[in-house]
Amino acid sequence: MTARLRAIPGDPAPATDPLATARALVPALAQAAADDDRAGRFAARSIAACRAAGLAALTVPRARGGQGAGLSATSAVIGTLAQGDPAAALVLAMQALHHATLARATGWPAGPVARLQRAAVEEGALLNALRVEPELGSPARGGLPATIARRAPEGWRVSGRKIYSTGAPALAFGLVFVRTDEAAPRVGFVLVPMSAPGIRIEASWDHLGMRASGSHDVVLDDVPVPGDHALDLRPPAAPGGPEAVALAWNTTLIAALYDGIARAAQDWLARYLGTRAPANLGAPLASLPRFQEAMGESERLLAVNRRLLAGVAAETDAGAPPPATESGLVKLTVTENAIEVVQRAVELTGNPGLSRANPLERHLRDVLCARIHTPQGDTIRLAAGRAALGL
């Protein structure tokens, strides 16, 4: 069921410097992003270009043939790709996040993990977690999944519906959040090949922003899964919340993505102000102190973002990730700064900023999606407040 993806002509070959590769891709990705957003279609061309450039194996360990990138390099790549096509960058961010997790995993079946890593290196095969359900919502807020894994002669049979399944048309594998049908149910993830019988994708994604992310419904109807593909099943009450490294990776990659959107908006605004010369002024808007100060304020917000993202990534790569509350606060601060940068650009440009002839209105719609990515603002503030109060 994985889509056949056609790369954008002129894609660069895989390079040893993934950031240089990402920068080279941005112009073509930006054009594809505009076309796909307008048509409301999946970012197939952009994702194919990223796969052809070897970015699907960005965080696969070098011992397995990947690039073994740490959080600093990975967040820089995701932020750069997002300046071109944030929907494709989101799919690649999830790929990088889950392969970084697989590289650290202990006690998981070695065979399936090795197959995932090999597929990413040799085929650019994409992976994402399928967690959210119509009734459950986001598992981050608690509750048991309705998706069931039942024992079967071949291992497991999985049935359920997952919503907001980012990248669904291009996924080769899904990490499906399930509960078992055992007398004492366990919860966790089962690795499901997306080509398995009983899987179908319902094209349900029709949102204001990130329109090309292909975050459709995935329906699993008695899907057969080998026994060793149950990667992490445990009792519901067992400790197993996100550890500090995993949370730092998740929050930093998401924050870097939305920071990239804000930087694209800032770059467009700079070009607009440098070329827009009203007849009554006789000079570009960029010559006016009002606009110079406004650009400086947005630069302040972006400079704070750059320092925060670099700090968390460097600490995490050094083996000393920040506490979970701080990772959440950094994500919240960076994404709110990014939203403010784009909103300010719209305010400064007026009608041209909201015209579909220009990319700024798309950047505004896309950057607002930062507020719905887990962890969300209310849970971040609540956790930080409880920690400050010693609760």
pLDDT of 142 reads 64
CB 54 within 8 A of CB 21: yes
Q: What is the dihedral of CA 72, 74, 75, 76, to 10 degrees?
A: 80
pLDDT of 16 reads 73
Judged by average pLDDT, the poorest of 43-57, 83-97, 164-178, 235-249 is 235-249
pLDDT over 80 at 66, yes or no:
yes
As a residue count, the chain comes to 391
pTM: 0.93
Please give the angle made by the CA atoms of 260, 262 and 268, to the nearest 5 degrees: 105
**Same domain, residue pair 256 and 380:** yes
pLDDT over 60 at 257, yes or no:
yes
Segment 285-314 mean pLDDT:
98
pLDDT of 183 reads 87
**Same domain, residue pair 251 and 372:** yes
Q: What is the DSSP letter of 137?
A: B
Tens digits of residue pLDDT in 314-344? 999 999 999 999 999 999 999 999 999 999 9
Domain containing 377: what range?
244-388
pLDDT of 144 reads 85
- Domain end position, chosen among 126, 152, 182: 126
pLDDT exceeding 90 applies to what percent of the chain? 87
Number of domains in the chain: 3
Please give the angle made by the CA atoms of 27, 33 and 37, to the nearest 5 degrees: 160
pLDDT over 60 at 240, yes or no:
no
Higher pLDDT, 264 or 236: 264
**Same domain, residue pair 300 and 257:** yes
**Same domain, residue pair 205 and 267:** no
Segment 117-135 mean pLDDT:
96
Q: Residues 6 or more apart from 384 whose CB is under 8 A from it?
A: 325, 328, 329
Judged by average pLDDT, the poorest of 13-22, 45-54, 141-150, 189-198 is 13-22
Question: pLDDT-based confidence at 236, cuts 50/70/90?
Answer: confident
pLDDT of 108 reads 85
Is 284 part of a structural domain of the chain? yes
Is 13 part of a structural domain of the chain? no
pLDDT over 80 at 15, yes or no:
no
- In DSSP terms, 224 is beta-bridged to 157
- Domain end position, chosen among 179, 205, 234: 234
Question: pLDDT-based confidence at 241, cuts 50/70/90?
Answer: low
Higher pLDDT, 108 or 237: 108
Segment 150-176 mean pLDDT:
96
**Same domain, residue pair 227 and 327:** no
Question: pLDDT-based confidence at 9, cuts 50/70/90?
Answer: very low
**Same domain, residue pair 138 and 30:** no
35 vs 43: CA distance, rounded Å: 9
326 vs 384: CA distance, rounded Å: 8
Is 6 part of a structural domain of the chain? no
pLDDT over 70 at 13, yes or no:
no
